[in-house]
Amino acid sequence: LAKTTQPISMDSYEGQEVNITCSHNNIATNDYITWYQQFPSQGPRFIIQGYKTKVTNEVASLFIPADRKSSTLSLPRVSLSDTAVYYCLVGLNTGGFKTIFGAGTRLFVKA
Amino acid sequence: EPEVTQTPSHQVTQMGQEVILRCVPISNHLYFYWYRQILGQKVEFLVSFYNNEISEKSEIFDDQFSVERPDGSNFTLKIRSTKLEDSAMYFCASGRDKPYEQYFGPGTRLTVT
């Protein structure tokens, strides 16, 4: 599993776009990039997954440059309810399925 | 929308007792997981289960832990002899066809006294 590095915390204001970048310099050819969100006392919630370029769903966008050594989760127009911890995971979608969560990025959205 | 469910929501037990935490994964999912999260700390992987067997386990998942899928719907985590340090939130998760796209349950808070 590739090691990931994310900022420990970020602050934003309601209505702003938030971009959280994750570094994964030793990503392997077959690794996918997955982002989860976790609110206090709840289980992580799957947000988005991608392999390369850009992926968008109803919640977020994921930008992956050509070298795939980093990825950026983009949350458009955040609200107070987006205050949570965001985790970047990198690994194979096959194999033993050992899923390692790092410390994540604590996003705090202010009014 | 289908959800992973877990019971009980909170379990209090005495040190040395056995506990069984129960999970009902989403019905057409193939991959099953248990995690734990000690208050204020990271989510820690315990075990993954696929095709009726453990596919991967962490160093935490020692002989005191076991998992079962006794029927087509339930997925259980047993801790044989609980320790104080087992106090944590335990999350079950399941995935359909992509192991890293997992759907988590609400968790069981285990308190060992």
Instruction: For A55-106, write each residue's pLDDT tens digit.
Output: 999 999 999 999 999 999 999 999 999 999 999 998 776 655 778 888 899 9
Q: Does the distance separating the beta carbons of A97 and B99 come in below 8 Å?
A: yes
Within 8 A of B93 by CB-CB distance, chain A residues are 43-44
CA distances from A83 to A9, A10, A24, A49, A101 (A): 11, 10, 24, 20, 18
Q: Does the distance separating the beta carbons of B107 and A44 come in below 8 Å?
A: no
Q: Does the distance separating the beta carbons of A102 and B42 come in below 8 Å?
A: yes
Position B30, amino acid: L
Tell me whether B43 touches chain A (CB under 8 Å). yes
| The pLDDT of residue A12 | 97
- How far is residue B83's CA from residue B13's CA, in Å, rounded to a whole number? 10
Cβ-based contacts under 8 A for chains A and B:
73
Percent of chain B predicted with pLDDT > 70: 99
DSSP notation for B27-86:
TT--EEEEEEE-TTS-EEEEEEEETTEEEEE-TT--TTEEEE--SSS-EEEEESS--GGG
Contacts of A51 (CB under 8 A, 6+ apart): A32, A33, A64
What would the pLDDT profile of B81-113 be if each residue is shown by its tens digit?
A: 999 999 999 999 999 877 678 999 999 999 999
Q: Does the distance separating the beta carbons of A96 and B107 come in below 8 Å?
A: no
**Which letter does DSSP use for residue A38 in this model?**
E
| The pLDDT of residue A95 | 58
- How far apart are the CA of B20 and the nearest CA of chain A, in angstroms? 19
Chain A residues with CB within 8 Å of chain B CB: 32, 34, 38, 41-46, 49, 87, 89, 91-104
CA angle B87, B68, B85 (to 5 degrees): 15
What's the alpha-carbon Rg for chain A, to the nearest Å?
13
